[in-house]
Homo-oligomer: A and B are copies of this chain.
Amino acid sequence: MSNNRSFEEGKLEKMNRRDEILDAAGQLFSRQGFHATSMRDLARAVNLQGGSLYAHIESKEEVLFELVNRAADGFLSSAEMIPANLTPGERLERLIRGHLEVMVRELDNATVFFHEWKFLNPVLQSKITARRDAYEGHFRKTLEAGVASGQFQVEDVRLATLFVLSALNWTYHWYRPGGKLTLDSLSRHYRDLVFKTLGAG
């Protein structure tokens, strides 16, 4: 029993350590970039010897993929949680709120997702591209449904989707959680601007 418990505790500690490493990597990669961050920087940030880091992670690229994939998880699961029976307008409102929420909650990972993903190898990049396309699909289909139902007036759904997602994505460049502008207020303003963009002001 006690052996078992300490084994479980050891495993848990290792998982916590791994999370700690990923958090530190997210901060370092988003601030100074993937290439400017060495394994030594990463080890120092979590108070480990360089060598001990390899007990928890395989390579810097593995860490990069996990960070980018976490952001993709955040965005996708937020979209997938929206109930199917909502109107396109209600759906879009949830999509906007969810996008900004994930961006704010995972600011470091989102920055890594947008800036550093190009440093993944082609196989890993294509996995992320597929998830990105799926996520963009949630927005595009919502706009299409809104046009079909007459709630949105849009000339070119593809370009309108890109326009809206662009405006939302860029937020990580300037929004700082804990500042004057709350997430609620940002979401409400952006919801209004997006709806006007789609002729549903």
Contacts and interface: CB of A to CB of B under 8 A. Distances in A.
Interface string A158-201: 01101111111111011000000000001001101100111101
A33 interface: yes
Given A155-B192, A199-B201, A166 B160 contact: no
Q: Is the interface of A mostly helix, strand, loop or mixed?
A: helix
A160 B193 contact: yes
Interface residues of A, number: 36
B36 A189 contact: no
Interface of A: 31-36, 114-115, 118-119, 155-156, 159-160, 162-171, 173-174, 186, 189-190, 192-193, 196-199, 201
